Amino acid sequence: MTVALTRRQIIANVGGKLGIVRTGTATSLTGTTAILDVSDDSPLDPGDQAERFSGAGLLVVAGANLGYRQNVTYVPATQSITFASVTGLAGTPYYEIHLEPLLHRLLDWPVLIDEGLALIRRISLENIYLTGRGYYDLSDWTDIIGPEQIRRLYDVGPNLLQNADFFAWPSGASGPDQWTVSAALDRAVVKNYSSGALLNTAENMYQEVSRGFSSARVKVAVWAKMSAGTGTLEITTRLASGSAERTVTATTTSTVGALVTAEIETTNLTAKVRVTFSSSGGNMTVWAPMAYIMSQGQRRRVRPFTTLLADSAMKLFVPSGNAACGELALLLPYAGLGATATDAADAVTTAAPDKLIEAAVAVQVLAFLTEHPQVPASSKSEYAAALKLWSEKFQQRTRLHMRRIAKTQSVWESGELN
Give pLDDT, residue 192. Answer: 56
Tell whether 148 and 292 lie within a shared domain. yes
Residue 301 clears pLDDT 50, i.e. is over it: no
pLDDT class of 314 with cuts at 50, 70, 90: very low
Distance CA 43, CA 45 (A): 6
- Other C-beta atoms lying within 10 Å of the C-beta of residue 333: 15
78-95: average pLDDT:
93
Q: How confident is the model at residue 124 (pLDDT cuts 50, 70, 90)?
A: low
Rounded-to-integer distance, Cα 190 and Cα 15, Å: 44
Q: State whether 181 and 276 are in the same domain.
A: yes
Domain boundary at 264, 284, 300, which? 300
Does residue 109 carry a pLDDT above 70? yes
pLDDT of residue 385: 96
Contact 318, 325 (CB under 8 A): yes
Structure confidence at residue 340 (pLDDT)? 61
139 inside domain: no
Would you state the pLDDT for residue 1? 37
Query: According to the model, what pLDDT value does residue 407 have?
Result: 65
Q: Are residues 198 and 120 in the same domain?
A: no
Element (H, E) at 4: strand 3-6
Q: Tell whether the model's pLDDT for residue 47 goes beyond 90.
A: yes
> Are residues 314 and 272 both part of a single domain?
no
Within-domain flag for 151: yes
- pLDDT value of position 219: 82
Task: Look up the pTM and report it.
Answer: 0.57
CATH number, residue 30: 2.40.30
Total tally of structural domains belonging to the chain: 3
Examine the domain organization and report whether 123 and 13 are in the same domain.
yes
- Asked if residue 173 and residue 85 are part of one domain, the reply reads no
Q: Which of 49-58, 184-193, 200-209, 291-300 has the lowest mean pLDDT?
A: 291-300
Is 417 inside a domain boundary? yes
Let me know whether 171 and 283 are in one domain. yes
- Residue 299: its pLDDT value, please? 41
- 371-413 confidence digits (pLDDT tens): 999 999 999 999 999 999 999 999 999 888 777 766 654 554 4
pLDDT-based confidence at residue 416 (cuts at 50, 70, 90): very low
User: Cα angle vertex 91, ends 86, 97, to 5°?
Assistant: 55
Mean pLDDT of all residues in the chain?
A: 78
* Greater pLDDT, 232 or 134: 232
Structural domain includes residue 181: yes
Does pLDDT of 258 surpass 70? Answer: yes
Tally helices (H) and strands (E) across the chain: 5, 25
Task: Judge if 287 and 154 occupy the same domain.
Answer: yes
Per the domain annotation, does 60 fall within a domain? yes
Q: 94 is in which domain, residue-wise?
A: 21-99
End position of a domain, from candidates 276, 300, 324: 300
Strands (E), 185-338: 186-190, 193-199, 204-210, 216-226, 230-238, 244-252, 258-266, 272-280, 284-293, 300-301, 314-317, 325-330
Residues 151-165: pLDDT tens digits? 443 344 456 677 766
Same domain, 293 and 316: no
Q: Tell me which of 267, 300, 333 is where a domain ends.
A: 300
DSSP states of 132-181: T------TT-TT--SGGGG--SEE-S---STTTT--PPPTT-SSSTT-EE
CA atoms within 13 A on the CB side of 393: 18
220: in domain: yes
Name the phi and psi angles at 254, rounded to 5.
-65, 135
Is residue 375 in a domain? yes
Q: Are residues 130 and 260 in the same domain?
A: no
- Residues 186 and 38 occupy one common structural domain: no
pLDDT higher than 50, residue 319 = no
The enclosing domain of 252 has a CATH number of 2.60.120.260
Q: What percent of the chain has pLDDT over 90?
A: 47
Confidence of residue 217 (pLDDT cuts 50, 70, 90): confident
Same domain (yes/no): 152, 289:
yes
Residue 416 lies in a domain: yes
What does the pLDDT average to over 151-180?
A: 70
**Model pLDDT, residue 165:** 67
Q: How far apart are CA 332 and CA 48, in angstroms?
A: 41
